Amino acid sequence: MRTLVLVHGRAQEHKDPLAVKREWLGALDEGAHHAGRPLDLPDDRVRLPYYGQTLFDLVSGDADRAADVVVRGDDDGPDAETLFVREALLEVAERAGVTEDAAREAGTEDVVERGPMNWAWVRATLAALDRLPNVSAWSIALATRDVYQYLHNVRVRDTIEDGVRKALDGTQGAVVVSHSLGTVVAYNLLRREAGPRGWDVPLLVTLGSPLGVTNISRTLRPVSWPDRVGTWFNAYDPDDLVALRPLTAPWFPVDRIDDYGKVDNPTSNQHGISGYLSDARVAATILEALEE
């Protein structure tokens, strides 16, 4: 049997790594039940490299303050990280159907200039976004901030990738299942190192992936199929605003990705991992690859 490698996303701090692993496997077991097939995975065939607490400690210990600083910026104007997050948030708002009129109505002051350089416009757009059901603009800001840190902060990237690299080393066929920030990590690492390190990855699964967000895919250009990955299955809930776009052209122009956009994620923000792994098609795709 092949090895299952689970690459988690953000907001996993203050958790027991074994509890995180049990959450993933419990949800996969539910999905397997929906798919009508048993889940029988020996513990030594499942690896979950846990970096949640380290990421939290490296990036910021105060989530509310971090979101405010990242989105608002400082008196000298927005830095590169702030602009990155703002651009993503404005794209999310547009995708969610927040109109210019709705943003102006939500604003507490006269807003004239649109765009990420204008804090008043960003704040008004976030207020309108927060009025939508099951949406937290701060949560989306923090998720985007963590992706930025992974892509631009060498210390953060090396720390995260070291654990994933160790999980993949020594496997004789690894089914890699990733979620949220973890999809960016898995894709970026496999693209760079799967070939040189000789990893055999018959299936890469990306769940709730932000890879289709414009400034994330732009940072990763030129995007390409990772060497030694056989099949790529991407699943998303259309109401999951972190998974902003399908992984198809023009947002993520890589051919052959099996893009599945019919997940009905029952978690509070349509982004939780349990709501993805409990989907029958997601679970069946993973189990079929493990059994081959």
Residue 103 · residue 93 · CB < 8 Å: yes
Token pair 């709501």 in the structure block, residue: 275
Neighbours of 62 (CB within 10 A): 9
Edge-to-edge strand list for the sheet holding 229-235: 46-47, 3-7, 174-179, 201-207, 229-235, 258-260
Structure tokens at 268: 């509070």
Supply the pTM of this predicted model: 0.91
Q: Which long-range contacts (CB under 8 A, 24 or more apart) does 31-39 make?
A: 31/277, 31/278, 31/279, 31/280, 31/282, 31/283, 31/284, 32/283, 32/284, 32/287, 34/278, 34/279, 34/280, 34/283, 35/280, 35/281, 35/283, 35/284, 35/287, 37/283, 37/284, 37/287, 39/283, 39/287
CB 203 within 8 A of CB 230: yes
The runs of H, that is alpha helices, within the chain are 17-35, 52-59, 63-72, 80-95, 100-106, 119-130, 137-152, 154-168, 181-197, 214-219, 273-277, 280-291
End-to-end Cα separation, the chain, in angstroms: 7
Contact status, residue 157 vs residue 118, Cβ threshold 8 Å: no
**In the 8-state DSSP scheme, what is residue 204?**
E
Contact (Cβ atoms closer than 8 angstroms) between residue 213 and residue 144: yes
Query: What is the full per-residue pLDDT of the chain (292 aa) written as tens digits?
Result: 799 999 999 888 888 999 999 999 999 999 999 999 988 889 889 999 998 888 888 776 555 555 666 666 555 667 888 889 888 988 888 888 877 766 666 665 555 566 666 667 777 777 777 778 777 777 888 888 899 999 999 999 999 999 999 999 999 999 999 999 999 999 999 999 999 999 999 999 999 999 999 999 999 999 999 999 999 999 999 999 999 899 999 999 999 999 999 999 999 889 999 999 999 999 999 999 998 7
Helix (H) or strand (E) holding 175: strand 174-179
